[in-house]
Amino acid sequence: MEISCAFATSSTTPKHVELAEELGYKRAWLYDSPALYPDVWMVLSRCAERTTRIGLGPGVLVPSLRHPMVNAAAIAELADQAPNRVAVAIGSGFTGRFTLGQRPMPWRRVAEYVRCLKALLAGEPAEWDGATIRMLHLPGFGAQRPLAVPILIGADGPKGLAVAAELGDGVFSAAVPQPDAIKAAGWRALLAFGTVLDGGEELTSPRVVAAAGPAAAVLYHAMYERGGAAAVDALPGGRHWREAIEAVPQHERHLAIHAGHLVEANPRDAPHVADLIPMASSMALTATRDELPGKIAALGASGVTELAYQPAGPDIERELRAFASAAGLTGVGN
């Protein structure tokens, strides 16, 4: 299995991607959620300038955020900066949509977007918004077409997996392996979270809560958005979390829910997230150094071919180093 990393895109991400390359991570995926993070393409460009080997890509792009030509031009420039290192993941949107007050996109529209983007990268004309478009970039204005950049589909359900089977070069899922992904693609990437525990460290210690809490809190966010009150109330601390969120006026509630997404527990999350971590850790890669290889092996046995670990908390460098060491990476930084 390939061991990659993922980042909640920030101004310090290029430094962390440079370290990830030294440690031996295969690829660095950067999140695209403009209400939360800086522009993913600008930061990926900075990462390309600081590295020579590690794969780079956005994970995942949300079609409604940019015209397909905008992403095609960005892909071409990144591929010119980092030849043979670029991959792209595209999905229907989580915080890239929810933070803007929108639900995830229909998969039909995602499929239309991917078809258009693939045609553009191949140097072919495509139809969008009732007009014919094509990349007109001359040499020196981005990598030339046809451009063979892999496109993964960010899918966690049957509709997304169907799009991946038809149009994708792989599947990019979050947290839980998708059994049907084996039918959809040979490249099956899984976004994973957690922290490597120090000897004798408890799941509710302040360091673990700071490092594992941001991902654990997303259980509240996702269950509330997708399943409503009953779903989130079934989680440890869920009812109290929901009552705090529902005290926020409805027209601003989506902003309060997703503040700090995968970076830190927000003010509504913080009082309750420690209650959630023991349950969340069973689905995450929170483990001791000795336990982690077994968890990774189990994911490989389930069909995962690439593990994208997202470090979180105040010490990203510590998280990257600890995970790389426990996972057996052999980069020069270990």
pLDDT for position 190: 96
List CB contacts of 67: < 8 A, sequence separation 6 or more.
128
Number of helical (H) and strand (E) elements in the chain, helices listed first: 13, 12
Residue type, position 247, single letter: A
For residues 169 and 151, the answer to whether their CB atoms sit within 8 Å is yes
Overall average pLDDT of the 213-229 stretch: 95
Q: Residue 251 forms beta bridges with which residues?
A: none
pLDDT for position 180: 65
Neighbours of 49 (CB within 10 A): 11
Q: Which two tokens stand for residue 267?
A: 């003010």
pLDDT at 183 over 70: no
Render pLDDT for 47-60 as a digit per residue (tens, 0 to 9).
Answer: 999 999 999 999 99
**Pair type for strands 306-309 and 27-30:** unpaired
pLDDT at 182 over 70: no
DSSP 74-121: HHHHHHHHSTT-B-EEEES-SHHHHTTT-PPPPHHHHHHHHHHHHHHH
Distance CA 236, CA 279 (A): 8
Overall average pLDDT of the 291-318 stretch: 96
pLDDT at 297 over 70: yes
Overall average pLDDT of the 128-143 stretch: 96
User: Degrees (nearest 5) of the Cα angle 127, 130, 135?
Assistant: 40
pLDDT for position 177: 78
308 phi, psi to nearest 5 deg: -110, 100
pLDDT for position 202: 92
**Pair type for strands 2-7 and 306-309:** parallel
